[in-house]
Chains A and B, each alone.
Chain A
Amino acid sequence: MAKYILEMNHITKEFPGVKALNDVNFKVEEGEIHCLVGENGAGKSTLMKVLSGVYPHGAYQGDIVLNEETQKYTSVRDSEKAGIAIIYQELALIPDMAVYENIFLGHEIKKGAIIDWNETIVRSTKMLKKVKLNVNPAELIRNLGVGKQQLIEIAKALSKDVKLLILDEPTSALNENDSENLLLLLKELKTQGITSIMISHKLKEVISIADTVTILRDGKTICSLSAKNGEITENTIIKCMVGREIDNIYPGRDFKPAEETVLELKNWSGYDPAQGREIIKDVSLNVKKGEIVGIAGLMGAGRTELAQSIFGNPAGYRLKGELFIDGQKKQFNNTSDAIKAGIAYVTEDRKGNGLILIQDVKQNISISNLKEIAKNGVINQNEEINIGNDYRQSLNIKTPSIAQTVGNLSGGNQQKVSVGKWLFAKPKILILDEPTRGIDVGAKYEIYTIMNDLIKQGMSIIMISSELPEILGMSDRVYVVSEGRIAGELPIEEATQEKIMAMATN
């Protein structure tokens, strides 16, 4: 039996109200490439944070054994010293510093009290050779593509004499060529004795590279598959990933959508100048009146970008293609135009860009449609109180008063305020981005009931969700998005968790 370089035994990590990790066992053999797979929220990132010391010893239960020694990290520094390096999705490089400065940032080579730049450059060149990257070490990071930056992150990790390299979805922002290069490099590093853990959603990659695959679901280890035994196949992985119980938390509805199309996209593409890549690729879809259309897919697949591109394009993507509302071709210059045309968008990140946390409930609700309660630009504040109380009642927002600051409410109630804010804008099409993320089961049920009421009143809903049971429980029709494309469309009768996951990971 091969030696385990890392053993994580009986790891349990609790957050208020949720068990993010529940008695997880995770073992990595020396010199292998180990892939960690699971749906969004399965606990992969939490597990890696436990390993790297982001959650220090004592903040979790269970123990970590590295090279047969029990580890008690109090900070990320400790785990780095022990030879663990994590490369996150968001790269941690300084764009306006040179390659060599970045590689040795934080562990500079010193000669006495000053930095030995010559030695730094020499060693950087060696590291770059190791990762097979042919760039001038004096080049600024800003001038390099994401693929090369990724390799520099790896070079940086190697310079610290890493034993265990962890990559969190390394290829999610890369094109196919760069992805392939990266995978080849990992195999190469393996022959040099470096063990890697890779978190990935792309099953093809996983199958091609992994020696072992561990699958997490709902904070538990579900299966561990080995390549030696020929266990790693797409089917087995998907079976392990999904199969979450669909409990009866979805209110039934006896209502069929109309035939009438309210929103249609034709050959809709979007290029993001900030990331320098296409994030929406040739999307065509339609939404009927009184319909809930589910948009499934993994995080980072471009679902939020798609939603925002419809909602007045606040991020300034370069868009191509046609958008029709009620059969009429439209072009929105800003969110205000989209709101006027009857679109509303409840953001995925209600704290970051959904609500104004320092303002109170009624001010948050009225902001999207102040004109309705104003005369000559002066707000009728009594009317605003009325509106606030109406939505507080109809959405059952639990707050001592509508004059309460939104930042003080629970997640579920904040979400209801978000929904209330957009209902007050009286939209025809409501886009809900992860409508039940981070809220408890009771509040979820309430949100679902509200959604049913709304479509009965003739509204159409586009629901973006990473939770497959939610997609299956609430949608009339499902589109699956993968890497900015529509990977498939499924009527609800034909949709299963396995089918959706297969499309989303393809």
Chain B
Amino acid sequence: MSFIKEAKTLMRQNVREYGMYIALAVIMIIFTITTDGLFISSRNISNLINMTGYIAVLAIGMTLVIVIRHIDLSVGFLSGFMGAICAIMMMQWGWSVWIAIPAVMIFGILIGCINGLLVAKLNIPAFVVTLAGWLIFRGLILWVTEETGTIVINNPTFNAIGNGFIPDIADVGFHLLTVILGVIGIAIFVWSEFRGRTVKQKYNFEVISMNIFILKLVFISAIMAYITWILAGYNGLSWTIVIVAVTAFVYHFIATKTILGRHIYALGGNPEAAKLSGVNVTKITVWVFCSMGMLSALSGVLFASRLQSATTTAGTLFELDAIAAAYVGGVSAAGGVGKVTGSLIGALVMSSLVSGMNLMGTGIYYQYIIRGAVLVLAVIFDVATRRTAAKAV
């Protein structure tokens, strides 16, 4: 009895966060049914995640930009432009892929810095600065691809980033290394949850009861195991998944564990108070835009690699997909609220919709309308749950 009661209160308190996971699950189940299981097939899930990659890294950076109450509209075409530059470096200048990729990432950081300085030093609204960037990078893509048109990339190492999978260690009918990594991942998750719980108990913090705790662990582990199994049944973990996972881990760590992260959230939560607490507002703002520039470059590399070419239209509407993913993932436009992991789930929700509707053969016009509706619903849900949460206290 008390078990159900606790589950209920827990559900109420965390309805926003759980709601997103539930939404993702519901979307996946619906599409699995409507496509006779095609949606949940190993091949489709693997493709779906690869397709999400270049939006997911943008959404991660966008989370921090929105947390500090700004916006970056230039990321889409910046991503496309960086992809084109990377292609030119490798194909026309003959640079090695190991030099070209770091080079464009640094280039991305520099461009982000310019955005950040204009916003933080000259107090120009980010919307305007990055709208100008949107136009400029659109022009630059067309300029650098003017002679060649689409630049075909035939570098197998580079193309593996968007299409390849991690190597296997033995041939056993499924992808063994993926399974091993999955098991390690689950073990680390269970261990860190247990450790967090013990620490909380040590400081006399309220913890959820053991029953619920076990249930939560089993539930999440099962999902992780299932995804691992699906991926292992196809070609295993793709390089895109590895890159997105590492990026998400690093950003999650920065956001939750470091001084830098704390300053970012303090600045978003109350800029005046943050300033009076010794937070260097200019420095933090510039850093966040630099990181956004770097992730735009990474996104450009992922996309160019996926298409095995740099096209003249690369990056179109990426910025809006990334912003939508962040909002669906629970980032608040009022600032100071939003998780990197949330935006990642948000990106998955949006691309699941696209993938599922494509499999069902839904018309493209319906697709846009449905995605728009989901975005609005997510934000309405967000506002409503925040209000009930405020009332509950």
Q: Which of the residues A367, A368, A381, A425 comes within 8 Å of B257, measured between beta carbons?
A: A381
Interface residues of A in 234-278 (CB under 8 A from B): none
Contact with B along A346-382 (1 / 0, CB 8 A): 0100001111111100010011101100100111011
Which residues of the partner chain B approach A345 to less than 8 Å between Cβ atoms?
276
| Chain B positions 177-207 with a Cβ under 8 Å from a chain A Cβ | 199, 203, 205-206
Q: A425-449 CB contact bits vs B (8 Å, 1 = yes)?
A: 1000000000000000000000000
Closest to A371 in B: B259
Q: Nearest residue in B to A336 (C-beta to C-beta)?
A: B278
Q: How far is the CB of B196 from chain A (nearest CB, A)?
A: 10
B273 close to A353 (CB less than 8 A): yes
Q: B272 at interface (Cβ–Cβ under 8 A)?
A: yes
State the CA gap A401–B393 with chains docked (Å): 13
Cα of A367 to Cα of B275 in the assembled complex, Å: 11
Quick one: CB contact mask for B256-285 with A, threshold 8 Å, 1 for yes?
011110110110011011111111100000
At the interface, yes or no: B337 with Cβ under 8 Å from chain A? Answer: yes
A353 & B280 in contact (Cβ 8 Å cutoff):
no
Q: Which residues of A contact B258 (CB under 8 A)?
A: 374, 377-379
A335 adjacent to chain B (CB < 8 Å): yes
Q: Which A residues are CB-close (under 8 A) to B205?
A: 385, 401, 403
Pairwise interchain contact A356-B276, C-beta atoms closer than 8 A = no
| Interfacial chain A residues near B269, Cβ < 8 Å | 356-359
Chain A residues, Cβ within 8 Å of B257: 378-379, 381
Looking at A311, A378, A381, the one whose CB has the most chain B CB atoms below 10 A away is A378
At the interface, yes or no: B336 with Cβ under 8 Å from chain A?
Answer: yes
A interface size (C-beta, 8 A):
37
A353, B259: Cβ atoms under 8 Å?
no
Which of B205, B272, B278, B337 gathers the greatest number of chain A CB atoms within 10 Å? Answer: B278
Instruction: Verify B206–A368 contact, CB threshold 8 A.
Output: no
The smallest beta-carbon distance between A427 and chain B, in angstroms, is 11
Contacting pair A354 B280 (CB below 8 A): no
Q: List the A side residues contacting B272 at CB < 8 Å.
A: 352-353
Does the CB pair B280–A336 fall under 8 Å?
yes
Q: Is A367 within 8 A of B337, CB to CB?
A: no
Interface string of B306-342 (1 = CB under 8 A from A): 0000000000000000000000000000001100000
Which chain B residues border A410 with CB–CB below 8 Å? none
A491, CB-defined interface residue at 8 Å: no
* Neighbour of B259 across the interface among A352, A379, A385, A401, CB < 8 A: A379
Cα(A370)–Cα(B279), bound, Å: 10
Subset of 29 A-B contacts with CB under 8 Å:
A314-B276, A335-B277, A336-B278, A336-B280, A345-B276, A354-B276, A356-B269, A356-B270, A356-B274, A358-B270, A359-B269, A363-B262, A363-B266, A366-B262, A367-B262, A367-B277, A367-B279, A368-B277, A368-B278, A374-B259, A377-B258, A378-B257, A378-B259, A379-B257, A379-B262, A382-B203, A401-B205, A401-B206, A403-B205
Closest 7 CB pairs of A and B: A353-B272, A356-B269, A336-B278, A370-B259, A356-B270, A339-B278, A368-B277
Binding site for B on A (CB under 8 A): 311, 314, 334-336, 339, 345, 347, 352-359, 363, 366-368, 370-371, 374, 377-379, 381-382, 385-386, 389, 401, 403, 405, 408, 421, 425
